[in-house]
Structure 1
Amino acid sequence: MAVREHDAFSCTTCFRESPPVMNRPVTLVHRTSYHYDRPVFLGPQTIRLRPHAACPTPIVSYAMDIAPHDHHRTWRHDDFGNHEAHVTFDRQVRDFDITVRLTADLAPATGSAPCAELIPTPAPALAAFMTPQAAGPHLRAFVAEAASIHTADPCARLAAINRMIATRTTYRTRMEAGVWDAEETLGRQTGSCRDSAWLFIQVLRHMGIPARFVSGYLIQPDASGTTCDLHAWAQAHIPDIGWVGFDTTSGLLTSRGHIALAAAAHPEQVAPVSGLLDSCNATLDVSMTLHHAGRSDNTKAHEIKAQKIKDCHDPHGNAIS
């Protein structure tokens, strides 16, 4: 058996201005299809494609369909409170398909900022989100500059650091496996959404601020309609407030369009699909379609066709982009 994780996050249309308001519910249909070149045995599969229980965006309805239909499915919570579907098969398969349908209310929230998970976490539970990686010269210099920012509002201070990262790192789609460490992202001055989010997390942890990695959907309007992508961002824990979301690609706080699926201390802990399978050649098809309430037209948000899984032995065979 080999390990395969599908962690294909992409965000090709991240905004850098305040996102336009969406006042009606939106239904997302997200299909993930694996096709194998021969019948294979799949080991236990873990799917993290259900909105987090503390996701600030109201989820009106949710359903997940899996094929082949003769499978065994159990829902569990991991150590970070994420929903995980554990799926097993009793026979060999040529295809493995996951279809998620959810309806989200994207109308702006009143009162508290929608980016915040307004449930403070007890201090002992924050320890997992405070351990940084070793810092090189680029990261040490950046942390020193970030630490020199002083404001009365802790959220404003973190927002300023978030803008620093968005300004100094150019977004790039990166389909290769893994997440760059903070030193590499700063040295290259570019990176994917997951790279800049991980940089923000490392900066905050070196400053003694708990921070975690988040995977989810990003739904937002653009010139061609409404788009959706799998995306990655960061959350920081602010005392007496809770977890607050920061999109390091846009340099803004997260909005109702950021639908959190999983949050954890490290990126590999939030892969949308992970599990074991026989060595094989495989292709991956991903598509997302949005349906607006009260409208018959559909907006195709994102599609990846026939992406070959390069090496089934690679635990990150499909990269977060």
Structure 2
Amino acid sequence: MSLDADAIVDRRRLRRKLTFWRVGAVLIALIAIVGVALLALPATRIGANPNYVARIKIQGLIRNNQERVEALTRLSRSNARAVIVHIDSPGGTTAGSEQLYDALRDLQARKPMVVVVDGLAASGAYIAALSAEHIIAQDTSLVGSIGVLFQYPNFTDVMKTIGIKMEEVKSSPLKAAPNGFEPTSPEARAAIAAIVSDSYDWFKGLVKDRRKMDDAQLASVSDGRVFTGRQAVGLKLVDALGNEKAARAWLAQAKNIPVSTPVRDYALTPRFSDFSFLHLAAWSLDNVGLNAVARAIEQWGGSEAVERLNLDGLLALWHPPTSN
């Protein structure tokens, strides 16, 4: 009986230790999450010096992003004296680029704003750049690609080869056209061309209005090509050559904001997925038996880490050809 009593005491002691480490792991995870959440907040929310210039970055593919719009709205209401927008993007969907342009225009209405093209501002990214009062590009940056694209695959030859035919019943000939499983009819091609042409006219009108171009100047830059920063200055696509230093000099000269004013990064999207602590926290919780919580944290931390390429609708996107 004494051995049984000792065993029961040992089990209780081990259970208390296990409970202690489980609670400790949960507390560590929560503290880490709260700490990084505070770090991810804009500088104005954690008592930073209100006399600053905000730096934001537009990178990668541009799609509709309501979180980014809301972040830009918060920035417009902040104490930032001005905004420097760094762009390095090939564009994206036309609708996403328009959404970003509108949000940046609302921001520009409240804050002096200047764009710096770091490497690439093509198609939809150039639409975003048009929102600013002043556009600066490096000598070898690529700018432009003014145009709209509608792409879809056509599998008809492959389906003939393997002996598959797609059957369908639809309400009208242009419903779900083109569908990629049959040759594109002249009527469907004309309908798509009308959509592309209308969006292209909208894009060109935006360039003409924002860059103060006449018809001849617009025609010379709107054939879909990209231009280097050096070429873009002469073509009125950008205002000057340089980098952030040039942007700060323009803010000093045009907006009376001294170059000594500190510049602070302002995140437009949550950065939680960039912190490996989430994976460490998940590992800790998994090892103390809280598997469901661990899986939830892993899924939350990684859900936005990988950029998806499922771009639907009209594209304002540039990429260099990969083959002849």
Same topology, TM > 0.5? no
Greater relative contact order (Cα < 8 A, sep 6+): 1
TM-score (norm 1): 0.20
The structure having more radius of gyration, on CA atoms, is: 2
TM-score (norm 2): 0.20
